[in-house]
């Protein structure tokens, strides 16, 4: 719920998905879940002009909705101490009969084309797709020829190597690798097993991606937003 501008990073991530037509969300809640619930319960109040009638017959009327969101949001309590694998396992009943679903963390923004990511996943039909992104150039990226520096990149993204950007697409078969064990971390035994079985594919994203891990990240993302230069604002 750390803010970028006037909205939490969660909102920015969801706006990115909605841009590509994906507006049905299941949020795995844990620590301070009430803060997230309060945000969505009061969302219309926050984004709309409001007309109130007070007194014996109180009434609230929302006069507009500046966001025009048509989101469906399921707020699922998955446990304060539950790790990522068990959290995903505990919301499986909210996925209906969908063969595939998307999965992401709430701590990174990107200009990723979600539709292209999904199409890539559906084409190979493996258990899971992970988005491979360029790591942030936190300390300035050096280009070196022998012992001589030939370039210095202070841009947010590095140009070499990839890490997981946390934007996944999963086949429902993922639940065969998960359990309700509170300590189960998706990133450990389940994904290692998926990799060993050749069922993890990588979608390469060369555009913008940046996490919200540090105070420096917070300042960078807020600065980009305030200057109207936020690459992840694709809506």
Domain at 181, CATH number: 3.90.550.10
In a domain, 112, yes or no: yes
User: Hey, what are 138's tokens?
Assistant: 């936190």
- Which pLDDT band, with edges at 50, 70 and 90, does 142 fall under? low
Other CB atoms within 10 A of residue 159 CB? 13
Whether residue 4 has pLDDT greater than 90 = yes
In this predicted structure, what is the pLDDT of residue 137? 65
Residue 232 DSSP SS3: coil
Whole-number percent of the chain with pLDDT over 70: 89
Whether residue 5 has pLDDT greater than 90 = yes
Residue 134 DSSP SS3: coil
Whether residue 188 has pLDDT greater than 50 = yes
In a domain, 235, yes or no: no
Of 8-12, 137-141, 172-176, 226-230, the one with minimum mean pLDDT is 137-141
Whether residue 16 has pLDDT greater than 50 = yes
Query: Which is more confident, 135 or 98?
Result: 98
In a domain, 81, yes or no: yes
pLDDT digits (tens, 9 = 90+) for 97-119: 889 999 999 999 999 999 999 99
User: CA 48, CA 32: separation in Å to the nearest integer?
Assistant: 25
In this predicted structure, what is the pLDDT of residue 149? 46
Which structural domain range is residue 103 located in?
7-226
In a domain, 89, yes or no: yes
pLDDT digits (tens, 9 = 90+) for 23-43: 999 999 999 999 999 999 999
| Percent composition of the chain: helix, strand, coil (DSSP 3-state, to 5) | 30, 30, 40
Number of domains in the chain: 1
Residue 50 DSSP SS3: strand
In a domain, 232, yes or no: no
In a domain, 233, yes or no: no
> Which pTM value belongs to this model?
0.86
């Amino acid at each position: 719920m750390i803010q970028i501008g006037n909205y939490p990073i969660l909102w920015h991530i969801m706006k990115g998905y909605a841009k590509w037509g994906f507006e049905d969300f299941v949020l795995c809640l844990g620590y301070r879940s009430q803060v997230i619930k309060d945000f969505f319960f009061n969302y219309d109040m926050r984004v709309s002009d409001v007309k109130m009638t007070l007194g014996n017959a109180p009434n609230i009327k929302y006069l507009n909705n500046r966001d025009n969101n048509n989101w469906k949001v399921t707020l699922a309590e998955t446990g304060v101490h539950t790790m990522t694998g068990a959290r995903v396992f505990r919301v499986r009943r909210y996925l209906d009969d969908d063969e595939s679903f998307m999965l992401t963390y709430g701590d990174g923004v990107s200009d990723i084309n979600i539709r292209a990511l999904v199409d890539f996943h559906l084409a190979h039909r493996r258990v899971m797709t992970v988005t491979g992104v360029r790591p942030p150039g936190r300390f300035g990226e050096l280009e070196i020829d022998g012992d001589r520096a030939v370039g210095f990149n202070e841009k947010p993204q590095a140009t070499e190597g990839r890490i997981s950007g946390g934007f996944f697409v999963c086949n429902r078969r993922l639940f065969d690798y998960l359990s309700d064990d509170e300590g189960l971390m998706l990133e450990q035994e389940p994904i290692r097993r998926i990799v060993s079985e050749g069922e993890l594919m990588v979608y390469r994203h060369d555009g913008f991606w940046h996490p919200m891990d540090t105070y420096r990240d917070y300042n960078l993302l807020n600065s980009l937003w305030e200057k109207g230069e936020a690459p992840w604002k694709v809506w």
